[in-house]
Amino acid sequence: MENWCLVFEDEFDSLDQTVWEPSVAPNGITYRTDRQENVRVENGLLIMELHKEDYEGYAYTGADIASVDYYQYGKIECRAKLPTANRAWPAFWMLGSYDEYGEWPNCGEIDILEYWGYNAPDVYTNIHTRNSNWKNGRNREKHSTSVSLPDATEQFHIYGLEWYRDRLEFYIDGSHYWTFDKFSDNWRKWPFDHPMRIVFQMFAAPDYEGSDAELPDQFEVDYVRVYKACQ
């Protein structure tokens, strides 16, 4: 078992914009804002809130924040509680630096936690690369998995990634549920050899056709932590 040393943590006593960069721009059907209505800290929790409202020509407002710093290899985890609204699309993920291979999907994406309210109680883990991503749909069954977690909207759980040079291991509450092994040295299939930043999001799911009566709703994050292997 790896011996981990803590190198970064945020307990969300405040939303420090020297640490987190909010987006102010549309994404899909959601307009991301940095307003208190959409992203704030309350009682030691990061609150990301999805609203049904007309804003800048969009029908929904939400938020995402990305870490200013980038990390490479180690253990990354957050403790979070998920929203109940069917329209909600929260996620906790890693996005690669554009410096090495270029913009998405070349840079790589690791979705440690991805959730669509209309697919409850399943929580998802997804890998995106130039070779396989949600746009091209190639070989997605080997780049994605899900776990049934019936109390994810009622209880906080710890969602974690252990990122090694040759594999990605995924955990919920310390229990391992999936490993994605490096199967090629080609960067198009394995771009996970360069730094990545942490992203939290709360968007409106574009594929849901039902009622929005449950909105607004919240994605709550208690903390995020990053560890490196101790020498």
pTM over 0.85: yes
- Residue 190's contacts (CB-CB under 8 Å, 6 or more residues apart) are 129, 182, 183, 184
Q: Tell me the CATH class for 4-229.
A: mainly beta
Q: Assess contact for 66 and 137: CB atoms under 8 A.
A: no
Which residue numbers are catalytic?
Answer: 109, 114
- Residue 68's contacts (CB-CB under 8 Å, 6 or more residues apart) are 18, 19, 20, 21, 197
Query: How far apart, in whole angstroms, are the C-alpha atoms of residue 61 and residue 39?
Result: 10
CA triplet 102, 224, 50: central angle to 5 degrees?
80
Per-residue pLDDT tens, the chain, 231 aa: give them: 789 999 999 999 999 999 999 999 999 999 999 999 999 999 999 999 999 999 999 999 999 999 999 999 999 999 999 999 999 999 999 999 999 999 999 999 999 999 999 999 999 999 999 999 999 999 999 999 999 999 999 999 999 999 999 999 999 999 999 999 999 999 999 999 999 999 999 999 999 999 999 999 999 999 999 999 997
Q: Where are the domains of the chain?
A: 4-229
Query: How far apart, in whole angstroms, are the C-alpha atoms of residue 67 and residue 63?
Result: 14
